[in-house]
Amino acid sequence: MRSTYGASALWRCSPSLAVLPVRVQTSLVTIVSLLLVAACSTKNDAAPPRDSAAPAYAPAADEATAARAAIDSLNARFLAAIQRGDVSTAASNHADDAVVMIPNEKAWRGRDAVQKGFAGILSQMSVKDAKFTTEDVMLRGDLVVETGAYSWTLQPKSGKATKDEGKYLTVWRRDSTGTWKIIRDISNTDLPAKK
């Protein structure tokens, strides 16, 4: 049979501190206080605080150098492909789940959309004098974040050529074969908006 009095009735029926001798009460309060202080205190042998700008993981210099060399080579391949209008090779730097965000376009999601986007642009213009300048590469495991600047001349099929300069941020992921692929890419021009 269940009690109708619940847990509070059990608490009320438990012996209280009031029935214990004062000496036992004082000892219990002292012990509980010491336990609380011990539980809440921290040990002071922890490492000193780190500079928040310092990396938590520093890859081996040769690992970072190898990643940078691979990305420089892939960027050179991309620029050569884009200048000769080779959309397939240009898009091959991108992972299947890549997202590319360029000015005045909706995001291209997936390698097929990236290839279609490049094809659309290169059907309207050619790219000349293209150059990427990688300013920084941060390696963390199988991811690299690259920041840099670009410059190129855009020559519409009809009309005047435009020299464009800007900046980019690209995230690369090493795939199961060890090849670096772009998974996120965003760029924007340094030129003022047209009025």
- Identify the DSSP state of 191: S
CATH value at residue 181: 3.10.450.50
Structural domain contains residue 45: no
Give the residue-averaged pLDDT of 4-25.
43
Side-chain-side CA neighbours of residue 65 (13 Å): 3
> Which pLDDT does position 48 carry in this prediction?
45
Is 125 inside a domain boundary? yes
Q: Does 3 map to a domain? A: no
pLDDT the model gives residue 106 = 96
User: In terms of pLDDT, which residue wins out, 124 or 15?
Assistant: 124
Q: What is the pLDDT of residues 23-82, one digit of tens each?
A: 545 554 555 454 444 444 444 444 445 444 545 555 677 888 999 999 999 999 999 999
165 versus 9: the higher-pLDDT residue is: 165
Helix, strand or coil, per DSSP, at residue 113:
helix
DSSP, collapsed to helix, strand or coil, labels residue 141 as: coil
Of 78-82, 88-92, 102-106, the least confident: 102-106
As for how many domains the chain has, the answer is: 1
Q: Which of 124, 86, 91 is nearest to 110 (CA)?
A: 91
Q: Mean pLDDT over residues 95-112, rounded?
A: 96
Tell me, yes or no, whether 48 lies in a domain.
no
Give tens-digit pLDDT for 130-182: 999 999 999 999 999 999 999 999 999 999 999 999 999 999 999 999 999 99
Nearest to 67 by CA among 138, 150, 167: 138
How much is the pLDDT for 195? 78
Q: Quick check: is 72 in a domain?
A: yes
- Residue 194's pLDDT band, with cuts at 50, 70 and 90, is confident
pTM of the model: 0.69
State the DSSP string of 3-59: -SSHHHHHHHHSPPGGGS-HHHHHHHHHHHHHHHHHHH---S-SPPPPPTTS-S---
pLDDT for the residue 8 = 36
- 15 lies in some domain: no
**11, part of any domain:** no
Identify the domain containing residue 167 by its residue range: 61-189
Instruction: Determine, yes or no, domain membership for 68.
Output: yes
